Structure 1
Amino acid sequence: MIDRSTSPHRLPDQLRPDLRLVFVGTAASTRSAEVGHYYAHPGNRFWRAIHEAGITPRRYQPSEFASLIELGIGFTDLSKTGVGMDHQIVAETIDVSGFRAKIDKYRPRTIAFTSKKAASLFYGRPSSGISLGRQKRDDCPAEIFVLPSPSGAASGQWTLEPWRELAAWIAA
């Protein structure tokens, strides 16, 4: 766990070279920032989704996020200093170039954005122009997937299918 009283980063990156998958959010939720764990709000579907889709062999708890690196799964956010829901994140805290530098450095096989908002910031286009699932190949060294937000606040857009598509891709 990090000392959030002295660190501007809400959640530590969980990255190392050649991961099979890196989950990328926009920023830490208020709850995640409080406890120092990714996808920590009890209403968030993330941990259930990655298990039900077949990405993990069991259902992990938010406090176990760091142990997923042993499965080849990492975590980061586009804003390491912002906190809150996607629409609350201050634009100046979004660091797409810093994120791209991490991808170039660590070279994961697959990147999965956990919301259309995060993907839209990465691509520099509106969320309405972003489709769920595997994205067209571009200059990024990793395959890219866009997943529906697991946040309880995004219930109207929820489907497990893109998560299953991701699971099938990383298992191949």
Structure 2
Amino acid sequence: MGGPGLRVLFSGINPSLYSAATGHHFARPGNRFWPALHRSGFTPRLLHPSEQWTLPESGLGITNVVARATARADELSPAELVAGGEILASLAGRWRPRYLAVLGVTAYRTAFARPKATMGPQPDRIAGVPVWVLPNPSGLNAHYTVDTLAAAFAELRDAAGPF
């Protein structure tokens, strides 16, 4: 969800089964996307996943690389990620956000054939749009806490500028 004039288009890897059932991005309890988004300063308060429709008011959009829901992102095939990356590139080219933020470095590497990509701003653009790779906020990603996720999100917020 989003449209033209976005500061950041956030792209998860794919919906969890829980998110697919609710129809809301990052809806599974324990997912740290919404707390990190708030703590980083992107939103003035903590949003519930059912409030995702308010994101464009803050210049934010949200989507996924792959639409198919799975229990775990590692259930996706490389071909699915590559095909999803092509769709995401088309979307980014149409909406032209200031930044495309992909949440998950492994998925980004596969979807966009960037095997050496690391977290943070990327040297390459996708459809002319600057790309920033953020950590996957899933509770399964134990390498990051809400605070370290928020710090990574805040770097992008600062780079994306005011709405």
TM-score scaled by structure 1? 0.83
Structure 2 runs not aligned, ≥5 long = none
Q: Deviations over 1:75-133 (max 9, x none)?
A: 1111113433210124443322111111111111111111112311332144xx22111
Mapped to 2, the partners of 1:150 and 1:81 lie a distance apart of 18
How far has the Cα of 1:140 moved from its partner?
A: 3.6
Aligned residue type for 1:123: F
- Structure 1 stretches of 4+ with a deviation exceeding 6 A read none
1:115 aligns with 2:137: no
User: How big is the alpha-carbon RMSD for the aligned residues of Structure 1 and Structure 2?
Assistant: 1.8
- Residue 152 of structure 1: SS of its match in structure 2? coil
- Residue 143 of structure 2: SS of its match in structure 1? helix
Alpha carbons 2:31, 2:137 under 8 Å: kept: yes
How far has the Cα of 1:48 moved from its partner?
A: 0.5
How far has the Cα of 1:154 moved from its partner?
A: 0.3
* Residue matched to 2:53: 66
TM-score scaled by structure 2? 0.87
Higher strand residue share: 2
How far has the Cα of 1:31 moved from its partner?
A: 1.0
Larger deviation, residues 30-39 vs 131-140: 131-140
Structure 1 runs not aligned, ≥5 long = 1-13
Aligned residue type for 1:121: T
Q: 1:169 aligns with which of 154, 159, 162?
A: 159
Larger deviation, residues 79-88 vs 107-116: 79-88
Mapped to 1, the partners of 2:103 and 2:140 lie a distance apart of 13
Aligned residue type for 1:46: F
Mapped to 2, the partners of 1:73 and 1:125 lie a distance apart of 25
Alpha carbons 1:27, 1:80 under 8 Å: kept: yes
- Residue 22 of structure 1: SS of its match in structure 2? strand
How far has the Cα of 1:139 moved from its partner?
A: 5.6
